[in-house]
Amino acid sequence: MYDHLETAENPESLKRVVIDPVTRVEGHGKVTLLLDEDNHVRQARLHIVEFRGFERFIQGRPYWELPVLVQRLCGICPVSHHLAAAKAIDQVVGVDRLTPAAEKLRRLMHFGQFLQSHALHFFHLATPDLLFGFDSPAGRRNIFAVLKEYPDVGLEGVRMRKYGQEVIRLISGKRIHGSAAIPGGMNKALTVEERDFLLQDIDTVLGWCRNALALIRRVYLANREHHERFGLIRSNFMGLIRDDGAFEIYHGGLRAKDASGRTIFDKLDYRGYTGILREEVRSWSYMKFPYIEALGKENGWYRVGPLARINNCDFIPTPLAEEARQDFLAQGAGGPVHGSLAFHWARMIETLHCAESIRELLHAPELLGTDLVVHGERQPEGVGVIEAPRGTLFHHYQVDENDLVTRANLIVSTTHNNQAMNESIRQVASEYLDGQTITEGLLNHIEVAIRAYDPCLSCATHALGKMPLVIELMDAGGGMLDRLQKRADGTVSR
């Protein structure tokens, strides 16, 4: 634990170093470091400084708008929000089970989303650090340099993402922000021609996924001690799990394990999440800090996402990904793998699983079915949970007798990892920056630790209410005419 670096004593006497914005992540965030006169790190924080407010925007809207409306939270993982909202609204319209065709279409779209999102992160955002080094010149750390120096790697990454987007387009009509899931089912069947279009390239995509997995395995093990130690923290892990313990990203129960791999809870009905999770608000970030209530704030924080899912499941139900999972876990000497950079390896195992699953679904005869919608008895509330590429995603809605939303609560994937990301940057600051002359390359080490989680910061900031706010009125010359401050406790002053 590095919580002693969350808040420094006498911060006004310390030097302030700011990374603003954190680059090659989705959304906007910054890191502040406070250093003493000998450059020893006394405080390190990841701040999320943008605000979205979706939980309030959607209050008063008809419930059937939600699957389309809430996906505007994000341009990278809109399918995840689309499907989580749809699962919640299924409950509102009294539907517990979709038709086989509708469920397979949703799963296919979800696998396409994972494929494109993981490819985007790994190849566009992470490989510049992994292939060129964390200290390499800043002008070289980008996808264009990857395409120039490793053209096969870069192009396969671009094409993997394109294929995932094509899966989404053929089901929802658009690559981003399409419309497919509706209350109780889906609005369009997949045609034979569309299925065959996807089938013609899936074996090639599967080969690219195996290449990507081999690449991260080779890079990680080539400097194993460094990669295992970098950003190393020990944490609990949480995610969805299938009834038989299999890896699951669309529907299942909640499982959490502690840092040693012991089960905290297992196969819990996610509709009861309010009985196990709490969210803490801290004054210096718009992103909340969730924790497992039974373990308390200090010990109850956890990680979600690829590393958690691979550590938590008993097996992966596709052969190539399962073989890769066993190889990956062998690095943990019988226990969970904790290194933050291992997220990248776990992410590529998931990508391989998605490609295998897409191929299976494309051969399933039910996929082309036209019975797509189920009706039920109207309910006042629904909770939809899904595994988004970045982790477990909760959508919870209450609806009144006029079909209007009266309350919404979203716990977005990146939010779960908030404490873990802060712990990781403090570990890196302590290990690599403490007492050193700060350089751009060293500061990139901090960003590398954050990027390992593939955070989507624009998704994760949605709280509204007692947020602090400062409004400054400036004249044409830059002089301040007026200043209004609203504090976290709701009081306002000039």
Structure tokens that stand for 326 in this block: 């066993």
Question: How, if at all, do strands 253-257 and 263-268 pair?
Answer: antiparallel
Residue 485: pLDDT over 70: no
User: Which pair of tokens denotes residue 231?
Assistant: 């950003």
pLDDT, tens only, 392-403: 999 999 999 999
Beta carbons within 8 Å of 272's beta carbon, 6+ residues apart: none
- Say what the pLDDT of residue 487 is: 60
What does the pLDDT read at residue 119? Answer: 97
pLDDT at res. 366: 97
Q: What is the mean pLDDT of residues 150-164?
A: 97
pLDDT tens per residue across span 409-443: 999 999 999 999 999 999 999 999 888 888 889 99
Evaluate whether 398 touches 406 at the Cβ level (below 8 Å): yes
pLDDT value, residue 165:
97
- Residue 211 corresponds to which amino acid? N
Stretch 348-362: mean pLDDT:
98
Whether the Cβ atoms of residue 111 and residue 152 lie closer than 8 Å to each other: no
* pLDDT greater at residue 235 or residue 21: 235
Q: Return the higher-pLDDT residue of 309 and 176.
A: 309
41-63 tens-digit pLDDT:
999 999 877 676 788 889 999 99
Mean pLDDT, all residues of the chain: 92
CB 123 within 8 A of CB 115: no
pLDDT above 80: residue 228: yes
Residue 461: pLDDT band by 50, 70, 90 thresholds?
low
In this predicted structure, the answer to whether residue 465 has a pLDDT above a threshold of 50 is no
Three-class SS of residue 374?
A: coil
pLDDT band at 489 (very low <50, low <70, confident <90, very high): low
Instruction: Please report the beta strands in 304-454, taking only residues with DSSP state E, as ranges in sequence order.
Output: 381-388, 391-399, 405-411
Say which residue, 102 or 493, is predicted with more confidence: 102
Helix axis angle, 192-222 to 100-119, nearest 10° = 40
**Mean pLDDT, range 131-158, rounded to an integer:** 95
Residue 4 zone, left/alpha/beta (φ > 0; ψ -120 to 50; rest): alpha
Report whether pLDDT(4) > 70.
yes
With 0-12 CB in 10 A as exposed, 13-18 as middle and 19+ as buried, what is 312?
buried
Query: Is residue 471 pLDDT above 50, yes or no?
Result: yes
* Number of DSSP helices (H) and strands (E) in the chain, helices first: 17, 17
pLDDT band at 464 (very low <50, low <70, confident <90, very high): very low
With cut-offs at 50, 70 and 90, classify the pLDDT of residue 470. Answer: low
Residues 6+ apart with CB under 8 A from 94: 375, 376, 377, 378, 379
Secondary structure (3-state) at 38: coil
Answer whether 114's CB lies under 8 Å from 413's CB: no
Q: Where does the pLDDT of residue 486 fall: very low under 50, low under 70, confident under 90, or very high at 90 and above?
A: low
- The predicted model gives 313-320 an average pLDDT of 98
Please check the confidence at residue 463 and state whether its pLDDT lies above 50: no
